[in-house]
Structure 1
Amino acid sequence: MPKSRIRKKADYTPPPAAKQAANIKLTNSSWVAPLMLAMFAIGLAWIVVFYVTDGSLPVDSFDNWNIVVGFGFIAAGFAVSTRWK
């Protein structure tokens, strides 16, 4: 069986500037988790209040769009959750 070739060229090493960018400290911001949970809770509460009051609350003029607003808060919570590490 033939031998595999030996690599003559060295592996790629990134320039020093790229090494510094890779050393960015990945920390969890203290506001991410509370905001995420608050958005989930607001969205859930909005939908529950809408159903419990037969559509007269939280905003009567929104009519059935209150459900969309509640799910919008929940979707915003999921969007914020992408920043959580």
Structure 2
Amino acid sequence: MSESNSSKKPAKAVKPKAPKVSRPVSAEEAPNPVWFKPVMFGFMLLGLIWIITYYVTSAQYPLGAATPWNLENWNILIGFGISMVGFMMSTRWK
């Protein structure tokens, strides 16, 4: 048995694809530079290490009684400040 031409489906017409038009990327949409994530996490870890060091050494270090500055409890604020820089950077992370 032979197939008739009427039972075959016609080939679909292929539409030519329009060339992609690239639009300019604004600074807000641009991806972060490569160094952004390591610096962000570095600030977070540095602040945590600062606070842990202060507590483990019984306020002797990083800037405690063993130094001429003797900042004592200000070390907690310094540690949180350093880690807050990392957390503020995380709001810009894409």
TM exceeding 0.5: yes
User: % of aligned pairs identical?
Assistant: 40
RMSD: 1.5
Letter in structure 2 aligned against 1:55: A
Indicate whether 1:27 and 2:36 are aligned: no
Give the equivalent residue in structure 2 for 1:59: 63
Name segments (4+ residues, structure 1) moved above 2 Å: none
Unaligned runs of 5+ in 2: 1-22, 65-69
Indicate whether 1:70 and 2:79 are aligned: yes
| Structure with more contact order per residue of length (Cα contacts < 8 Å, sep ≥ 6) | 1
Equivalenced residues, count? 65
TM-score by length of 1: 0.69
Unaligned runs of 5+ in 1: 1-19
Question: In 1, distance between residues paired with 2:80 and 2:36?
Answer: 19
More helix by share: 1
